Amino acid sequence: MDKLSEIMAHTREQLAPRLRPVSDAELARFGNRGYAGPGFIESLVNAPGLGVIAEIKRRSPSAGQIAELPVAEEQARKYLNAEVDAISVLTDEKYFGGSLKDLWAVTDFLSDHRRPTPCLRKDFMVHPLQVLEAAEAGARCILIIVRALEDDEIYTLRDAADTAGLDILYEIHSEPELERALRFEPEMIGVNNRDLARFKTDLAFSEELIPQIPDGILPVSESGIFTLEDAERVYEAGAKAVLIGEALMKHDEPEHFVEAMHAL
């Protein structure tokens, strides 16, 4: 079993005891909880230069322990000061050390500041219950990993997100996955430069796939961006935004890195 299949199997196993039907009324009720700022996609579209999604994560299967982070909102404060365009909060516990409590803490912290910043719930989504949790916790976007799901599961998640008023980042890693993603009429597609089966990373995936994303769909490059040169490379390939975790988590002053990307 490859790593992504292992993670997805664990996610389904952990969710199974809690699964229940989720109504449209529930999803619509919790959408936009206490949030008055721009949507996730809107914030990236309006970003100067290269938009920046800054990720909060404690560890990963590829990098191991990344940062000791007792309180997620401490990292959110750094990102807010750096004027990132959006924040991704990993809520998987076993493999990435996150939790829904992190998402709640970050969105509550951000809601108390003058410059609202939209958040992505970064997790392995398989059921509308997770979409409901994301909306209830104040997220403005969810992740759908195209490779990990059947078409009917993606349609179900898409409909739940639409009802809750959440944007979707459709994540791909190959040309066939891009072709599949386009069936769902996406507004945003992320090219993950990391193969989640083997956790090998190569920016060439963005260089190959982003030019194939049709106009009108926001292209995002994810993973493997550690330097300004890396950011320039995917920007030249056509990326309008980047999702960066490890590099920004380890930066004592991430504002300089973010400022440089905004200047591209």
**Rounded distance, CA 191 to CA 40, Å?**
17
Please check the confidence at residue 35 and state whether its pLDDT lies above 70.
no
**Rounded distance, CA 63 to CA 52, Å?**
21
Residue-range domain boundaries for the chain: 3-16+35-262
Query: What is the distance, to the nearest Å, from the Cα of residue 222 to the centroid of all Cα atoms in its chain?
Result: 9
Please check the confidence at residue 22 and state whether its pLDDT lies above 70.
yes
Longest C-alpha distance within the chain, in Å? 48
Please check the confidence at residue 155 and state whether its pLDDT lies above 70.
yes
pLDDT digits (tens, 9 = 90+) for 76-95: 999 999 999 999 999 999 99
Phi and psi at residue 96, to the nearest 5°: -125, 0
Rounded mean pLDDT of 138-155?
Answer: 97
Query: What is the distance, to the nearest Å, from the Cα of residue 154 to the centroid of all Cα atoms in its chain?
Result: 16
What is the three-class DSSP state of 223? coil
Phi and psi at residue 121, to the nearest 5°: -85, 110
**Predicted TM-score of the model (pTM):** 0.95
Q: Which two tokens stand for residue 141?
A: 């976007």
pLDDT digits (tens, 9 = 90+) for 197-242: 677 889 999 999 999 999 999 999 999 999 999 999 999 999 999 9
Instruction: Kindly report the CATH number that applies to the domain delimited by 3-16+35-262.
Output: 3.20.20.70
